[in-house]
Structures are given as structure tokens and as C-alpha cells.
Amino acid sequence: MKIGFDAKRLYNNFTGLGNYSRTLLAQLVLNFPEHEYYLYASTPRPQGRTEAFFDETAYRLRFSTTKPKAWWRSYGITKSIAKDQIDIFHGLSGELPFFGKIRPKTIVTIHDLIFKHYPEQYGPINSAIYDAKAKHACKQADRVLAISESTKRDIVELYKIPEEKVTVIYQGCDDSFYQQHSAEKIVATQQRHQLPSEYLLYVGSIIERKKLLELVKAYEFIPESKKLPLVVLGNGGKYLKHVKQYIVERQAIRKWIHFKPKMPFVDFPAIYQGATAFIYPSIYEGFGIPIVEALASKTPVISSSKSALMEAGGPHSIYVDEVNGRSLAQAIELVIDDEGLKAKMREKGLEHIQQFEKNGLTRQLVNVYSALLGE
């Protein structure tokens, strides 16, 4: 098969969409080298995690200097696709070319429809653009991939796409989270970044729907003798300032919250593994990769029961139905007080994430490609 990919996010995004794209392509080349993989992008530059994707022995690189870049992605790319005579074109980040006809079979991955649920996060103009692109892609594509059952429900309900057109293929996390570090390595990492020896952990962007403020408020309900420091790995804007102002105004909780906005990705596994529990109080996610990272690190998870988070966390993580300080405090106390519970959560968490093993997920994807071509 000759398969083409919209590789914009692969080369330019270093969080969720970019990680998804890089993992998917790396796994395809590793497990199915007999196929040809075409990467379409506008003038990318090698940097860190993208350098492997400039390897012309593994990929057919199709880079454009056409400006504006958005016009090339919406129309100009179709000429390159036609010239290469590919069999399938896969939009990895929620869109397909808006103008012009793509002759091969098309697939689009939809990660979430956050802009439909929380348009204020993006502003009215960007929300409308994302909505138009995603809706167009879902209707035009021969097959839609959703990264969770929750996202599939959104696609079917909000865009009126037939259920049978949407296939769920989950995501896996980076292999480094499965590699257990020694106690010495974990302590050395904690000391290098000036972390406490015991702590609770939050990882993710700091925006309103992820509810970090409610997690901070939990420290007003947890008894002093049971409190553990909270380490926060992530960046934010106005909402982060609001959270920090709340903390500054409350001396009793100020010493417990440790913000670490700049942390090298290579140290994340040791930091996860050193945590007593991972707390992820978000109320909407397309899936929840940080939860999978925590479970792979043998770290108990506390999250909300909203959207796809229970799919990511499985039946043995702890969930709160109402995300507020009191409910999170109760969940935290339940976990940190019970060594037997923590041990069971670690064991069952690892069992749950076996379904997110990347070789199996890649096989599912190739089966979808083959079915589209009638192979």
C-alpha cells in the first residue's frame, strides 16, 4: 500500500497531536515496512523528536514551500497526492483538504470535539474554524477514526455521522513509561529538580476544564497530618494566574503546591514513578494519555468520571463524579491511607493498559487500511 499522511502536527506539535502522529508513523515503519509512507508538510525543520522523520529510506518526504501554508494544506496538497498516486490519505489531526477532490480513499483521525463543548477555550473564530474543518473531514472521509468511545459518541451525535463509519482505535503512551527505574534513579531525578521525596502529581496544560483549582482546593479539606505536596507539571495562561493568586491568598496551602513548568520529557517517567498518586481532575478529554502514562508507571490514578477518562483509567482507578475540592480530598485520603488499595490499583492498572499496547493498535490500523482497499 502507498499511504499518505498530513504531517503538519508530526513536525510542529510537541504535545498530544504531535505525539500521536510520531508514534503512529514510527510503529507503521517498524511493524509494516513493506508499505510506502508519504509525509506531506510545509517546510518543516529537524528538531529533537522530529529528526527521525526526515529519513528518506523510511519515508517519502513531500515538503512544500507554497505560501500561505494554510492554502497549501487546504488545496495545494491535493495535487501532490494525485501525482504520487497513493492508495489512502490519512488526516492525522482532525482535518482533510477543504478544497479539491482527493481521489484515493481517505481516513481522518478525530481526537476530540472540545471546541464544541468548550468554545470559550479557543475563542469564537478559532472554534468556528475547527468545527468547520472537523465536520467537513468527517463527512468527506471514507472512514473516521476516533481515539475513544467517548469521542465516537460526540462525532455521531454532534455531526450526525453513521455509527458504522466510525472506528475506535485507542492510543498508547511512550515506551519509556513502561521502563521501571531504580529507587536511586528516582531519588536522583527528584533531587535534580528539587522535588519532595513524597508527593501527589498533576501533569497537563493548566486550563479551566482540567480543574487544577479544584485540586488545590482539596488541600483545604485534607487534614494537615495526611497532606502530601502536590507537584504540578504544566504551563498555562490566565487560568494559571488565577490558580496561583488563589494559592497566594491562602497561607495554609501555599507551601504544599510546587509548580514545575519546564521539565524535560526524559525525566517524566521517573517523576511519575516517584509519585504516591496521579491526580487528573479534568472534566473533558478526547482520551487521557497522562492517565495511561501513570498506569504504565505503576502509579495509582484519581480522576473524574467524565468523557473518556474512565476508558483511559479502567475499572480500578478512583473517580469522582462531581469535581470539587471536597470530593477530590476524599478520594486522595482514600488512596494514600490504604497500602493494599494502592497495590491493587498498580496491578490492575497494568492489566488494563495492555489493550493500549502499540503493536496491537498498529495492527488494528493496518486492518482498517486494508479493509478500505478491499484487501
Place of cell 492489566: 351
- Angle between the 325-336 and 339-352 helix axes, to the nearest 10 degrees? 100
On whether both 209 and 138 belong to a single domain, the answer is: no
Q: Which of 186, 336, 219, 204 is nearest to 260 (CA)?
A: 204
> Can you tell me the distance from the alpha carbon of 271 to that of 128, in angstroms, rounded to the nearest whole number?
38
Q: Full-prediction pTM beyond 0.85?
A: yes
The predicted structure's pLDDT at residue 117 = 96
On whether both 133 and 184 belong to a single domain, the answer is: no
Assigned C-alpha cell, 85:
498516486
Pairing state between β 105-110 and 318-320: unpaired
On whether both 227 and 317 belong to a single domain, the answer is: yes
Q: Which of 276, 326, 331 is nearest to 303 (CA)?
A: 331
| Structural domain span for residue 287 | 176-355
On whether both 28 and 51 belong to a single domain, the answer is: yes
Q: Sort 122 into a burial class: Cβ within 10 Å, 0-12 / 13-18 / 19+.
A: middle
On whether both 148 and 210 belong to a single domain, the answer is: no
Cβ–Cβ < 8 Å for 97, 15 = no
On whether both 144 and 187 belong to a single domain, the answer is: no
> Can you tell me the distance from the alpha carbon of 81 to that of 224, in angstroms, rounded to the nearest whole number?
62
Cβ–Cβ < 8 Å for 314, 250 = no
The predicted structure's pLDDT at residue 262 = 87
Q: Map residue 13 onto helix, strand or coil.
A: coil
DSSP-assigned letter for residue 283? S
Cβ–Cβ < 8 Å for 330, 338 = no
The predicted structure's pLDDT at residue 346 = 98
Mean pLDDT, each 10-residue run in order, the chain (375 residues): 93 84 94 96 83 90 78 78 94 88 90 96 94 96 98 98 98 94 98 97 96 98 96 96 96 95 94 98 97 98 98 98 98 96 98 97 98 90
The predicted structure's pLDDT at residue 93 = 93
> Can you tell me the distance from the alpha carbon of 287 to that of 272, in angstroms, rounded to the nearest whole number?
19
Place of cell 480522576: 303
On whether both 9 and 158 belong to a single domain, the answer is: yes
Q: Determine what percent of the chain falls in helix, strand and coil, rounding each to the nearest 5.
A: 50, 15, 35
* Sign of torsion over alpha carbons 223, 229, 234, 236: positive
**CATH number assigned to the domain comprising residue 9:** 3.40.50.2000
- Angle between the 16-31 and 358-372 helix axes, to the nearest 10 degrees? 80
Residue type, 251: Q
Query: What is the number of domains present in the chain?
Result: 2
On whether both 292 and 245 belong to a single domain, the answer is: yes
The predicted structure's pLDDT at residue 118 = 94
On whether both 124 and 224 belong to a single domain, the answer is: no
On whether both 364 and 314 belong to a single domain, the answer is: no
On whether both 140 and 37 belong to a single domain, the answer is: yes
Which DSSP string corresponds to 42-106?
Answer: ES----GGGGGGG-TTT-EEEEE--SSHHHIIIIIHHHHHHHHT-SEEEETTS---SSS---SEE
On whether both 296 and 341 belong to a single domain, the answer is: yes
Assigned C-alpha cell, 283:
472534566
